[in-house]
Structure 1
Amino acid sequence: MTQIPDDPTLDELRGALAPLLARHAAFDGWRPAAVENAAAQLPVDPTIAKLAFKGGAVDMIDAWFASIDARMADAWPADTIMPLKIRERITALVETRLTLIERDREALRRALSILAMPQNVARAGQLGWRAADAIWRAAGDSSVDVNHYTKRATLAGVYGATLLAFLDDDSDGWADTRAFLARRIEGIMRFEQAKGRLFAKKDRVFSPARFIGRLRYPAT
């Protein structure tokens, strides 16, 4: 059973309840009833538990997704994942996320329906970006230039599409989703390689200033 302090803060309570919410949201929807039933498992006062999710369904979904980010990172410490090739790291991390939510597909289906509502689109984008950022960070990416943003934007789209494929995948061991993910990650790797070649070529573009500098200070 999840352990919480005797007098938890709302953040601590939210973190403790988050992994339990999806199991109940599959039946109760992302509504207060799911919070009440999750609170009964800890157990904590349901009235206090509801204060941790004052934003309603989207706050509940946000907390659940955050718990997946954390459990994914815990499953792949740096000394375990860094020996892998980069595409193997991304694949392993995404597949770990899918394993973590496999039992809660109905809750995921309901969550994505809520996030698709017009009033929640911006928040959905933030959550997708956060998931992609968590994956890249766990994979060891520390880029701070434009690569930081392009990597996350690309992976956020791939991860979102993979979730949709996963929802309706009845294949053995969700083989179809794994194949779908492999193709999309191959696309990411090709994009990164092409981008790397493009930036490398910039160093070889004729520069009048560099040419004049070499005339004045020839290489020795």
Structure 2
Amino acid sequence: MSTSPNDDPVAVLLKAALTHVPFDGWSEATFRAAISDSGLDAALARTACPRGAVDLAVAFHSAGDKAMLERIKATDMSALKFREKIAAAVRFRLEAVDDKEVVRRGTSLFALPHHAADGAKAIWGTCDKIWDALGDTSDDVNWYTKRATLSAVYSSTVLYWLGDDSIDHQATWAFLDRRIENVMQFEKFKAQVNENPFLKRALSGPIWALGKVKAPSKTPYEDLPGRWNRPHD
């Protein structure tokens, strides 16, 4: 594989690794094969991906998120209901994948206890990007509940999709619609609590506490100890 000094080493390694992942998983064997196939200097490869194939698996997930966002941006969804927009975004994310086996191997990797945090972060990040792309402006506890519920929907849909052999994945999209309906029922319950005086009194303590929760700032506090100040892209 020919490379240029200006090429992103992670992207180069990821491209080379994808042919090996279905057979060897996101493993050290795959990472070594990617270094060999790409022709990258081994020291540069290890610097770019200190955790080897684990970092490539994270990069693969991020590339799928990027493809999803590009498709959302290019698609006119103005005529869709909001729940349909959510379903479309999740579908776009899954359709960004060319090889299910690569995702299956990633699911196995991130199911391991020492990589579970990376998997949870990747799923949360995908759902955060979906909500942001669809215009979510919540800055209270709803910021968290929206992403938490969508994370549950997304992760369960991925697992269903991995085993789905229906034509054009129609069974998966029906499963996705049912999960989103579950979320809508939860949102209806929240609205009922806000509209019902008895429930509001009964749950006044939790409601007060949740009202103090705020969404994280999108701008990092650059003056915190240990934070590396990087120039903005």
What's the TM-score once normalised by structure 1's chain length? 0.77
Relative distance call for 1:19 and 1:65 in structure 2 (3 A) is farther
Q: Deviations over 1:155-174 (max 9, x none)?
A: 10111111110111111111
Provide the aligned length of Structure 1 versus Structure 2.
199
CA distance in 1, matches of 2:41, 2:31: 7
| Unmatched tracts of structure 2, length 5 or more | 202-233
2:84 is the alignment partner of 1:88: yes
Q: 2:178 aligns with which of 183, 193, 199?
A: 183
Identity between Structure 1 and Structure 2 (%): 37
Match of 1:217 in 2: none
Shift of residue 87, structure 1, vs aligned partner: 0.9
AA partner of residue 137 (structure 2): S
What's the TM-score once normalised by structure 2's chain length? 0.73
CA distance in 1, matches of 2:77, 2:166: 27
Q: Deviations over 1:117-149 (max 9, x none)?
A: 111222222112111111111222121111110
Relative distance call for 1:171 and 1:40 in structure 2 (3 A) is same
Equivalent residue of 2:49, what SS? coil
Relative distance call for 1:193 and 1:44 in structure 2 (3 A) is farther
CA distance in 1, matches of 2:15, 2:84: 26
Q: Deviations over 1:47-69 (max 9, x none)?
A: 22343221133322111111111
Shift of residue 92, structure 1, vs aligned partner: 0.8
Contact 1:39 1:46 in 2 (8 A): yes
Q: 1:108 aligns with which of 103, 106, 110?
A: 103
Relative distance call for 1:29 and 1:46 in structure 2 (3 A) is farther
More helix by share: 1
Contact 1:23 1:107 in 2 (8 A): no
Q: 1:162 aligns with which of 157, 165, 182?
A: 157
Q: CA RMSD in A?
A: 2.9
Match of 1:138 in 2: 133
Shift of residue 32, structure 1, vs aligned partner: 4.2
Match of 2:6 in 1: 7
After the TM superposition, which residues 49-88 of structure 1 pair with which residues of structure 2 at under 5 Å, given as runs? Answer: 49-77=45-73, 80-88=76-84
From the CA coordinates, give the structure whose radius of gyration is larger.
1
CA distance in 2, matches of 1:62, 1:91: 23
Relative distance call for 1:205 and 1:90 in structure 2 (3 A) is closer
AA partner of residue 107 (structure 1): V
| Unmatched tracts of structure 1, length 5 or more | 207-220
AA partner of residue 99 (structure 1): E
